[in-house]
Amino acid sequence: MPTSPRVVSIGPFHRDTQNLEAMIQYKWSYMVSFFQQSKDSESSLRSLEACINVIYGLDEVIRQCYAEKINYTEDELAEIMLVDGCFALELFLRFDRSLNYIEFEDFESDPVLKSPWMITALQHDLVLLENQIPFFILELLYDAIRPHVIKCEPPKSVTSLALKFFQPMSQKSLEKEPVGADVKHLLDLLYQFYYLPAPATGACDLTIDRVSLKQTSSWSPSDDPRATIRSWGFGCCALKLLESGIELQVGSSTEDQLLEITFSEGVISIPQQHIHETSSTLLRNLIAFEQCSISSTHGVTAYAFLMASLMHSWQDINLLTRKKIYRHNWIGGQEYSTQLGNILDKVVAKNDFYYGTLYNQVNDYRKSYRWSRLQVFLRVQYQRQKGILCATYFSTTWKVVSLFVGLTFLLLTTLQTYYTIHPARR
């Protein structure tokens, strides 16, 4: 799976990548449009000055947000922050059609917005850990420009504006944004909004680090991926859990975060996940985000292992889809499962499993003998045998006809045999 940007560079790491040069003109065009909130050139100039003033003087603070040394001068780094930040904000404003930030004709003629492939590529690029700028830069630029925005009624927070750009991953309402959260960058925003952040026990390094993606491949010779999945999963697939008398259901609360998987009275409740084109990319980068964290309990990593342990075959994926735990578009569950497995093949799991309590609860329940478990088991077996019967004998009209013809011959043969052995008395 690619870990480099497809169409646009954000931040200093991929600025000079040759295959991304085509997007530079659109970045500058979006920045100019971001300042031109009216036809008044003086107003545009004031907007530009306001944004420049909030960027300059933050060189040292910006450099501290990156784990690697930035080989750009103060002016060059400020230009990167200004252009990339304004491009991202203008993109978010244009993308949210409910704001009516631009006219419909302008929206349709925009080469960036009119292409679904381009939007998907941008969503992919903006969640890459190595393709970020500090989130406070976006906040400063947005706060500086918001008083000058006359094209629409802009949202009060850049947080809600940014979340609208990314397709929803769960049932959680977008109106509920992280309050008072210290957001590092866009990837961290999605991490805090859609997932339940694991409680840290000490200092946590959350700087932007492109090396962290490579760190997810650092296996030691003694590491066994299959053993890791067994110890970080349920130990059996979704279908086997159901056959053992454990129900699976989608989380009932629309405010659930994706890590809030619970178990009660034989039912595992899993919040619904929306699978789309950037899901595997986002998950890979969130895992890398945790891998480079000093003291994280690796909740997202554990979540990925747990969900992978449920999907051993297409029957498991179909079951999760029928239960509405997975909701996907043209990206099929089988493809997502394969991508998930490829990600986890090169991830080092920690000893302290985030879902350790859940794992023990499920295992204890499976070992116990309950009437409710027997009921679920019998129901599952009945549904399975009924499905096999229907698929074998009732899937087509000719099979139904053949079945009845066969039953008729069987009945007639039985009657003939009976009357041959027991002839009618006269």
pLDDT tens digits, 194-228: 886 544 433 334 456 554 444 433 333 334 444 44
Q: How far apart are CA 353 and CA 383, in angstroms?
A: 34
Domain boundaries, the chain: 18-165, 212-367, 371-421
Residue 338 has pLDDT above 80, yes or no: no
Instruction: Determine the pLDDT at residue 227.
Output: 45
Give percent above pLDDT 90 in the chain. Answer: 21
Say if CB 81 and CB 63 are below 8 A apart: no
pLDDT tens digits, 81-125: 999 999 999 999 999 888 888 888 888 889 888 888 899 899 999
Name the band, by pLDDT with cuts 50, 70 and 90, for residue 298.
confident
> Which range has highest mean pLDDT (97-101, 153-157, 182-186)?
182-186
pTM over 0.85: no
Say if CB 161 and CB 92 are below 8 A apart: yes
Say if CB 308 and CB 231 are below 8 A apart: no
Residue 191 has pLDDT above 70, yes or no: yes
- How many alpha carbons fall within 13 Å on the CB side of residue 36? 9
Q: Which residues contact 89 (CB under 8 A, 6 or more apart)?
A: 34, 138, 141, 142, 145, 158, 161
H and E: helices and strands count for the chain: 19, 5
pLDDT tens digits, 222-280: 344 444 444 567 778 888 888 888 889 988 765 668 888 889 888 899 988 888 878 88
Cα–Cα distances (Å) from 247 to 10, 185, 239, 254, in that order, read 44, 38, 10, 20
Specify the range with the lowest mean pLDDT, choosing from 22-36, 252-266, 298-312, 330-344. 330-344
